[in-house]
Amino acid sequence: MRVAVIALLLSLSFWNVGYTQDITENDSTESILSLDDLYEIVMVYHPVAQQIALLSEQGQMQVRLGKGYSDPKLYSKYDQKVFKTKDYYTKWNTYAKIPVWAASINVGYERNDGINLNPENDTNSGKGLMYIGLELPVLKGLLMDERRAMLRKGYAMQQMTEADQIKQINKLILQVAKDYWTWYFAYHQYRLAEEGYDLAIFRKEAVDERVRQGDLANIDGTEALITIQDREINLKLSKLELQKAKLVLSNHLWNEEGKPLELLDNILPEELGVEVLPTLETLLSEASMKHPDIVKVQTKGTILSVDQRLAKEAVKPELNLKYNYLGTTPIGGWEYGLDENYKFGASFSMPIFLRKERAKLQMTKLKIQDNDLKLIMTKRKVENNIKKAFLAVQNYVELTDMQSEMSQNYEILLQGETEKFDAGESSVFYMNVREGKLLEAQTKLFKMKAEYAKSVAELNWTTGLSPTL
Over range 162-185, report the average pLDDT: 92
pLDDT grade for 22, boundaries at 50, 70 and 90: very low
* pLDDT value, residue 194: 95
The total of other beta-carbon atoms located within 10 Å of residue 213's CB is: 8
Over range 70-79, report the average pLDDT: 93
Q: 363-420: per-residue pLDDT in tens?
A: 999 999 999 999 999 999 999 999 999 999 999 999 999 999 999 999 999 999 888 8
Over range 314-319, report the average pLDDT: 92
Residue 391 to residue 280: CA distance in whole angstroms = 10
* pLDDT value, residue 228: 92
Contact yes or no for 6/267 (Cβ under 8 A) = no
Q: 416-469: per-residue pLDDT in tens?
A: 988 888 887 888 888 888 999 999 999 999 999 999 999 999 998 999 875 544
The total of other beta-carbon atoms located within 10 Å of residue 340's CB is: 10
* pLDDT value, residue 302: 94
Residue 428 to residue 420: CA distance in whole angstroms = 11
What does each C-alpha distance from 250 to 13, 50, 83, 261 come to in angstroms? 11, 17, 79, 6
CA 441 to chain centre: 39
Contact yes or no for 245/269 (Cβ under 8 A) = no
Strands 267-269 and 31-33: parallel
- The helix (run of H) or strand (run of E) holding residue 60 is helix 47-68
